[in-house]
Each structure stands twice: as structure tokens, then as C-alpha cells.
Structure 1
Amino acid sequence: MTGGSFSRVGVVGLGTMGAGIAEVLARGGLAVVGVEIDQGALDRGRGHLERSTGRAVKRGKLTEDAQREILGRVALSTDFADLGDCDLVIEAVPERLDLKRTVFAQLDRVCRDDAVLATNTSSLSVTDIAVTTGRPTKIVGVHFFNPAPVMKLVEIIGTVLTEPGAAARVADLVKGLGKTPVTIGDRAGFVANRLLFGYLNQAAGMLESGHATRDDIDAAMKTGAGLPMGPFTLMDLIGLDTCLEVLDAIYAESRDRRHAASPVLRELVTAGLLGRKTGRGFYAHDNSSGDEEKAAGAAPVVGIVGVGPLADAIAALCDRAGSEVRDSAAGLAGCDLIVEAAEGAEAARALLSAAVQAAKPGTVIAVTSVDGSVIEQAMATGRPSDVVGLHLPDPAAGTLAEIATTVATDPDIADRAVGLVARLGLGVVRCRDRAGFIVDALRFPYLNDAAAMLGAGYADADSIDAAMTLGCGYPTGPIADLDRLGPDRAVTVLRALHAETREPALAPAPLLVEHVTAGKPLR
């Protein structure tokens, strides 16, 4: 073994994940020893390797000669003793502590004293595994993401016992394989899962509380937050049993209620409805898709009261849809929809009372202020049955509108509001009158978790952003998102969420508040 590099690497467990890791190592020119429990499991592992590399050949990403070379570098065995000559061994067995400890006890016996042993865990404590071996200084965590040949991120975890050189050498190996290593300490969920699963769990809680429907929450996060898929589609893809395992592991360590698994998630798992792999989870996976509501009818006449960036954005949307816009008191009488787009609650109240007097009965009145609840503003108008909340999570993009109804909103008005806003060319989702509507109520707590992680020095801004973009497929990382959306807006929404729920994890992270006070971006 020269220059601290690894030339022969073992992989224990050749399920989808282990076979993927073996493929990545072999593609990188390393000699690989793949070990499975019995011949049947070994044959399945060989099948994974042949299918995955075969798909790459079909797509023209690999030649048949290169495929043969890669497969030729992987020696398959059912005998742990064959790992005796490896410089590094990566364990990739199922996520059960007892099972992993058993594997490490065997590795301890057969591997050379100077060999580094790594666990590919997504949620278990690396320290818990390390202390049961006779070489805790040589144990690291190496968390590949599924599918390993495609995903760029690898989290490298050092414990308080790991010798500094071990984690650094594994990180160098990972970089040499064309991946992006992020080196961090041993905390449940590490960076990516800790941030991702707090958000997914909150979405499940939001569904359970009746705040919004499954389809509206998924549509809101996809269209309004620009995510590749909504939380329920993603949980069904990951597997609800896996989601529950990760949440339970993080909660056991942190006692943070954001990671206390939502009862609906536990109920689905108990019922064996685990998502895509069983055909049903939050969705029934029978390839039928619900028809989206299409907006029909002429573009509405829209009254806009208030001035500022939001009023301008709404006016631009109306122009694009061919809607007539009116902003004089006299013109409001003939409007289908009146939107209050004032800056600040006081200004909004004054403008609203004038608008309400001018509007004909049954006109939809939409309030947009985020610093006061919709019901308070609705009651102040004297005709609360006509009032809905309207929120554009990304006004510049002009893709999604959230409509919040209060207990006083007339159901016909709510339906009409959805129809009118849809005719402006926006996707529309509905929710109840709660702080943050859907998108901000889910987005800002996740961003707050990232700010808290940064503030604690657990990972730097680049590592946190890389974890979410490369590990979870997010279009942008959370620290970049906070700077784009504005730490001040984050703090405003988080304070409203905290005041409403009294949930300690929703109080703005001290680092965020400090940056807002200093007027400085996080980066």
C-alpha cells in the first residue's frame, strides 16, 4: 500500500447499494473483493453488477470491453477470509445495528491490523459500531447515496476515536473516484438525511393535521419551491419503512420533535404499505394519474390595492394572462377579484376597508400580508365570507399561488378564488389559514435546520449545500436558498410559525437572527 492510498477494497453485502459501491470502485480501477452470506445472495449480487453495467453499455456510456474489465476487477466470494488482504473494507449490509456489529466482529478477526473498516450507514451511530471492534481508531462511516454509480455525494464520517488520517484517506479515495466527499462528525442522519427527513416528516404532519391535501402539498413543493418531486412522492420512492428507520434513529439521539415520526407514517408502515416497492404508500402506484384541474373561462378583471414589488409582480402576471387591471377606487366596483398587496399590516387594513366599500357583493377579496393572520384581516373588512389569503411563494417566477381559506370563508368564494387565480395562468393549491401557508411553512424550518447546523460548526456552507444538491437532487443548497430568499424573510416566517405552534425547533436559529441584524448574507 503506497502513499496512503487503497489499492484493494472489500465490499460486504452486495444488495443494490453494495453492488453499486463495488461497481464504483471497479470503475475507478481498483481490485474489489465482494463478499455475501451465501451462494444465492452472491448470485443476486453478480446479477446487480451485470444489469447495472449492462444498462450503461446499452446507453452508450460503456463499451462491452470496458464492462468486461470492470466485472473482471470484482472477485466474488462467500468467505470472509478472502478480505484478509484488503486495505479498506466497506460494509453495506441492511441498516440494523446488531447485524452491522456482527459483520465488524468478523472483519476485525480476518482483516490486517492496518486496514481501515468503513460502514455505509445512513442513520446509525458509527461510534456504536466502532467501540465493539478492537480497532476503533480505524473505523469510519462512508455514506454513499442510491444509486451509487450515479449519485455524486459521499458523506465521510469520523468519530471522536477515528485517527485523522483514516477519514482523510477515504475522502481522497472518494474524490479519486469522481465523487464529492463531505467530511463530518458522527451525528444521526449526518447532513443530508438530517435536513431532508425533518422536512419530509413535517409534510406528513401537515397532511395529518388537515392543513392541506397530499396532492396540494406535493404540487406546492414541486411548483412553488422548485423541488424535483413533492414530499409524498419522494417518501414513496425512498420506502416508508426506510423513512421511519431514519427518523427513529435521529429522534433517539436528538429528541428533536421535528424527527418524531408522524403517526400516519408509522401507521402506513405497520399496515405494510411501504410505497412504490409494495404498490401503495401515500399513493397507490397503479400508473393511474389524477387529472389536473384546467382553468377555463375568460381572464378575470383584477383590482390591485397597494404598491411595491408584490403589487408589481401581480400586475405583471395579469398582463401575461391578458387580464384587465384596475387600481382606482372607482374601478374596483367592476372587479372579479381584488388583491390587497400592501407592505405592512397597518397599510393593508386601511387599503382593504376602502376596497371593500367599493367592491360589489360576492367579489373575491384576497389578502397577501404575511405578518397578520388571514382571519384577523378578514374580520376587519366586515365581510369575512368574501376573503381568502393569497400567497405567491416565488412572485418573480409566477408559477404557483396558494389560497388559504378561513373558517369564515364562504365555500363558493373559495372555489371561485381558485378558478379566478388559475385563469391568471398559475398553478393553485389550497390550505388552511396558518402561518407560512404550505411552501414557506415547510421550506423555512428546513432552511432554519441548515442555519443551526452551520451555526454549530457541524458542517460548512459548501458542505451543507453540496449534501442537498448532490445527495438529494435539490436545485440549490439551503445556505444559497437563504441568501436568495433573504434571511429577514426567513426570520419573519419562522417567528410567525413559532408564535403559532410554540415548537422550539421553529424559533429562528441564533445565527440567522445575527445575520439579519448585521444585514449580512450567510455566505
Structure 2
Amino acid sequence: MTSTFETVGVVGLGTMGAGIAESFARAGLGVIGVEAGPEALARGRGHLEGSVGRAVAKGRLTEAESAEILGRVTLTTSLEDLADADLVIEAVPEVMEFKRALFTDLDRVCKPSAVLATNTSSLSVTAIAACTTRPGRVVGMHFFNPAPVMRLVEVIHTLLTEEGLAEEVAGLARRLGKSPVTVGDRAGFVVNRLLLPYLNHAAVLLESGLATRDGIDTAMRLGAGLPMGPFALLDLIGLDTSYEVMSVLFQESRDRRHAPAPILRELVSAGLLGRKTGGGFHTAADDGRDAARPPAGKSSAGTVAILGEDGDDFGDRLTGAGFKIVPVEDAEVVVALSSTPVIELAATLPHPERLVGLHLAGDRVAEVASTVLTAPGVAQAVEGLVRVTGRVPVPCRDRAEFVVDALLYPYLNDAVRMYESGYACADDIDTAMRLGCGYPAGPFETLDRLGLETVRDGLRALYAEYREPYLAPAPLLERLVAAGVRSFRDLP
């Protein structure tokens, strides 16, 4: 059955629902917005008018265009007004009971040819479709906030979805100026299934004492080039929302990597939900960005020994700043540039307490890894040396892959597993993470840049250190490296 979409219903006009209604109206479609009662409807109207008004104030819309957009939207408190809609999308709270009850009502009200869509970010579309008499006409259409601005839409099909319907809905998303990706019905779909485990893993590493909150945030922003650190992002998303998504993922997979971190549960239980409550991992007055500003001052060390490959540039910068590079036995501090733990190297030195590992992450960060033998003053002195070279130091423990790679590699591994499962292609996964999260590159683009073998070896090291099954390299990654394949783009 070929669908023609000209009139769209939107149920739930909170910030997200109103944004979805605006997106359809901007594309020239007639929109019927539904809310539960007069007060909620007035709030929904306020969301719509406020969003369009801000676009006018910024010069993105004219007054005439604004009037046309708002004129295409009809607001009502009756579901019965959706009887002739071609597609109805819901944006009600992420509670399965609410959504199933609503879809039962929509199934009764809407014409048989109408497509029913859910904007759920992580719940089972199949379970929602099953409560209707038209499961083949039910899809997921997951917009991202703010809907008028964000280009990504995840279109989710189930085993029951009529052949070709998901692509028709994706075509509708393109009419809105969006970039759709079509995926299967797995908890979290693409973005949340990759993003939330990464954020949760950061919380686990924080609890383990690997590094501080600000250190991890700084490492991932400046060292991995991400728009926000994981804890700042968790606060923005909402810790309660993040906890709920992780719980949904764990309920489906029963995988330890999807079990919400205990600190996440504790903060939610305490009512510290992030920005919306004025405090979470960060307080309202502390967004974590100050940690990335290197304080003034020099290192207390005067003589330095540098070990490891690629240390010439670091040494030249120190020499230019007035520090003296000397042999190990004469140095106040010993810096070992390394991508792996340095405790075994420290144990071979006459003064193991003087050695600190240094891992250069990107162009702006240096992870300063203290071993169990490192003297506190030595670590602080090396942090000063790092600042002299123009980098931001991130103190951490001497653990496999330190901070950046310890968080980045499992995320890439999850992407490989997602691709291997066959429910999303590499290009769609890359597009979803770039557009949905603002990442500079998708996971497969990142894998190609880093090298499959490098990531495989890093995961092996993480698995050897932490013994968590999810850290073991994905079987496909192992096979590709063994076969000498350098890029997922080289696969047939």
C-alpha cells in the first residue's frame, strides 16, 4: 500500500511534540496537534509560537513565513479530529503503558490506511504495534531535540512492518529537510544504543577512581574532539532519562555493559537529575569547562628524563622553555611517553617513584598516568611540564588505555557489533552519530582513522585488564584484522 502524506497528526505538544509539529508545518503539511486538555493545549501553543518567534527574531523566518507555518497547525483536545490524518505521531512520556493505551485509541479513531508512528527513543516499537489491529502500519519516527533544528530522524521498522513503508516514511522525513536512517527495532535504536553505554561506562570509570569527573570530561572534549564531556552531557540529557534508557537496554540485552552505574542510580534517587534540577554530576554554576583552562605557572621540576618513542617534540618544547633534559639517573622526574601502562618500566628504574606515564591524546591533551609507586609531587610536577608544552594535563591512574581510549574503543566495538548484527549499515550508523550527537566523525570513520588493528589491540588490553566480556573485540573486528582488511568501506 503506497502512502500519501499530506495531513499529519501530532499527539503531545510538549517541547518535543511542538517541535515535531513545527517541522511538518514548515514543510507545507497540514498539522493537527492534540493535547489532553485546555491548559496543556495552551502550553503547546506557547511552545509553537515561541519557537517560531525566536526564528523570526534571528532572521531565519519572515513574519509572513511565521504566519503561514502557524496557520497550517490546528490545535484540539479531541483524538477524534485525527480521523482523516494520513500519519499520526505521538510524543507522549516514555512510559509503555501510556503509549500502548494511546495507540489502541488511535487504531480505533484513524482511517485504516493511516500510518501510526511513535517518537519513542528506546522503547519497543513492536510492543507498541502489537496493541493495534494494523501492526504493519506502525513505525518508529524518532526525532531529536530541538526537532526543527536537528537533522536526524531514526525510522524504525519491525518484523511486522509492511514492506516499503519504512522507506516511505524516510521519504517523508526528507521532505522535512531531515536526514533519515532506517534501522531495526532494537532498544535504543542507533544513537541511544551507542551513546548511553558510553556515558554509563564513563560513570563506571569515575567510580573506579581512574580519573576525576573534570578530568574525564576534559579528556573526551579536547582529547577525543567530542562536543561535550560525558558528565556534562549526562546532566544535559537528564540523569533520570539516562537511567531509564540504560534500564531499557539492560532489560533487553541483560548485558553488564547496559546495567546502570551505581552512581547514576544514587544521583537519581537523591533527586539530582542534572541541569533541570540545578545539580547532577555538575552543579548549576559549574559546567566543567573551567577544568580545560590550564592554570598559569611552571613545573617545580628542573631536570627531566624522557623515555619512549615520539618524545623529541615534547623534549624540544621543554628545552625551549628552559628545562634541562638529562639521563634517567640524574632526573628529578622521568616522563615515559607511552600508550600502555608503565608500571613494569618504573619497576626497573633506580627511583621508580620519579616516573610518570604520559599519553598524548589528540593535539591538546596529555594523560598523566601515575603508577602505584609515583610520588604525588612528581605527578604534579609533570602536570606543570604538560602545561608548559601547551597541552591540558589529565591526571589518571596507570591503567590499560588510560582515559580517552578506554572510553572510545568500547564505543567503537559496540558499533561493530551493531553492524555485525545486520540491523543498521555502517553509513547509517556514522550518519546517526554525527547528526544525532554532533560528533566530528562517525564510529566507522573513526575506526578507519585509528586503524582496525590499533583498536583491536586496545580492546584486547582492556579485556585483559578489566575482564569484562563486552571489552573483548567483536568477532567481526578480529576477523577483519586477521584478513588484513583496513577499512569497513573495503567490505563487499
TM-score by length of 1: 0.89
Name the SS for the 1:392 alignment partner: strand
Contact 1:300–1:324, Cα closer than 8 Å, also in 2: no
Correspondence list, 1:281-360, <5 A: 281-286=280-285, 290=290, 292-297=293-298, 303-305=305-307, 310-311=309-310, 314-319=311-316, 323=320, 334-335=324-325, 355-356=327-328, 359-360=329-330
Correspondence list, 1:109-508, <5 A: 109-286=108-285, 290=290, 292-297=293-298, 303-305=305-307, 310-311=309-310, 314-319=311-316, 323=320, 334-335=324-325, 355-356=327-328, 359-360=329-330, 363-371=332-340, 373-394=341-362, 398-508=363-473
Contact 2:306–2:334, Cα closer than 8 Å, also in 1: no
Change (3 A) 1:79 1:476: same
Task: Specify the code of the residue in structure 1 equivalent to 2:320.
Answer: S
- The superposition leaves residues 268-313 of structure 1 with CA deviations (integer Å, 9 ceiling, x where unpaired) of 111111100110010110368756442423897655445xxx51xx
Task: Specify the code of the residue in structure 1 equivalent to 2:444.
Answer: I
- The superposition leaves residues 389-413 of structure 1 with CA deviations (integer Å, 9 ceiling, x where unpaired) of 110122xxx2110011111111111
Name the SS for the 2:339 alignment partner: coil
User: 1:459 Cα shift?
Assistant: 1.1
User: 1:366 Cα shift?
Assistant: 2.0
Q: Does residue 109 of structure 2 align to residue 106 of structure 1?
A: no
Name the SS for the 1:294 alignment partner: coil
Worse-matched range after superposition: 449-458 or 470-479: 449-458
Task: Specify the code of the residue in structure 1 equivalent to 2:366.
Answer: A
Name the SS for the 1:381 alignment partner: coil
User: 1:322 Cα shift?
Assistant: 6.1
Matched residue, 2:477: 512
Q: Which runs of 5+ in 1 are unaligned?
A: 327-333, 337-354
Name the SS for the 1:471 alignment partner: helix
Counterpart CA distance in 2 for 1:502 and 1:320 is: 39
Name the SS for the 1:380 alignment partner: coil
- The superposition leaves residues 84-112 of structure 1 with CA deviations (integer Å, 9 ceiling, x where unpaired) of 00010001101000000111011011000
- Aligned-residue CA RMSD in angstroms? 1.9
Counterpart CA distance in 2 for 1:374 and 1:423 is: 23
Name the SS for the 2:357 alignment partner: strand
Contact 1:302–1:323, Cα closer than 8 Å, also in 2: no
Task: Specify the code of the residue in structure 2 equivalent to 1:387.
Answer: L
Contact 2:18–2:44, Cα closer than 8 Å, also in 1: yes
Q: Which runs of 5+ in 2 are unaligned?
A: none
Counterpart CA distance in 2 for 1:436 and 1:377 is: 16
Contact 2:305–2:333, Cα closer than 8 Å, also in 1: no
Task: Specify the code of the residue in structure 1 equivalent to 2:407.
Answer: L
Counterpart CA distance in 2 for 1:288 and 1:263 is: 22
Counterpart CA distance in 2 for 1:147 and 1:301 is: 53
- The superposition leaves residues 132-165 of structure 1 with CA deviations (integer Å, 9 ceiling, x where unpaired) of 1111111101110111111111000001011122
Change (3 A) 1:300 1:193: farther
Task: Specify the code of the residue in structure 1 equivalent to 2:357.
Answer: G
Task: Specify the code of the residue in structure 2 equivalent to 1:360.
Answer: D
Name the SS for the 2:347 alignment partner: helix
Contact 1:35–1:79, Cα closer than 8 Å, also in 2: yes
Name the SS for the 2:488 alignment partner: coil
Counterpart CA distance in 1 for 2:71 and 2:154 is: 28
Counterpart CA distance in 2 for 1:457 and 1:175 is: 24
Contact 1:302–1:324, Cα closer than 8 Å, also in 2: no
Change (3 A) 1:370 1:322: closer
Name the SS for the 2:361 alignment partner: coil
Counterpart CA distance in 1 for 2:122 and 2:321 is: 54
Counterpart CA distance in 1 for 2:314 and 2:403 is: 21
Change (3 A) 1:121 1:272: same
Correspondence list, 1:13-162, <5 A: 13-162=12-161
Q: Percent identity?
A: 58
Contact 1:39–1:78, Cα closer than 8 Å, also in 2: yes
User: 1:515 Cα shift?
Assistant: 2.1
Counterpart CA distance in 1 for 2:60 and 2:339 is: 50
User: 1:3 Cα shift?
Assistant: 6.2
Contact 2:151–2:435, Cα closer than 8 Å, also in 1: yes
Task: Specify the code of the residue in structure 1 equivalent to 2:216.
Answer: I
- The superposition leaves residues 341-367 of structure 1 with CA deviations (integer Å, 9 ceiling, x where unpaired) of xxxxxxxxxxxxxx53xx315x21122
TM-score by length of 2: 0.95
User: 1:168 Cα shift?
Assistant: 1.6
User: 1:380 Cα shift?
Assistant: 1.8
Counterpart CA distance in 2 for 1:5 and 1:319 is: 66
Q: Does residue 462 of structure 2 align to residue 522 of structure 1?
A: no
Contact 1:19–1:48, Cα closer than 8 Å, also in 2: yes
Task: Specify the code of the residue in structure 2 equivalent to 1:449.
Answer: D
Worse-matched range after superposition: 10-19 or 373-382: 373-382
User: 1:480 Cα shift?
Assistant: 0.2
Name the SS for the 1:365 alignment partner: strand
Counterpart CA distance in 2 for 1:302 and 1:475 is: 36
Counterpart CA distance in 2 for 1:230 and 1:219 is: 6
Worse-matched range after superposition: 23-32 or 315-324: 315-324
Task: Specify the code of the residue in structure 2 equivalent to 1:430.
Answer: P
User: 1:457 Cα shift?
Assistant: 1.6
Change (3 A) 1:23 1:439: same
User: 1:321 Cα shift?
Assistant: 6.5
Contact 1:300–1:423, Cα closer than 8 Å, also in 2: no
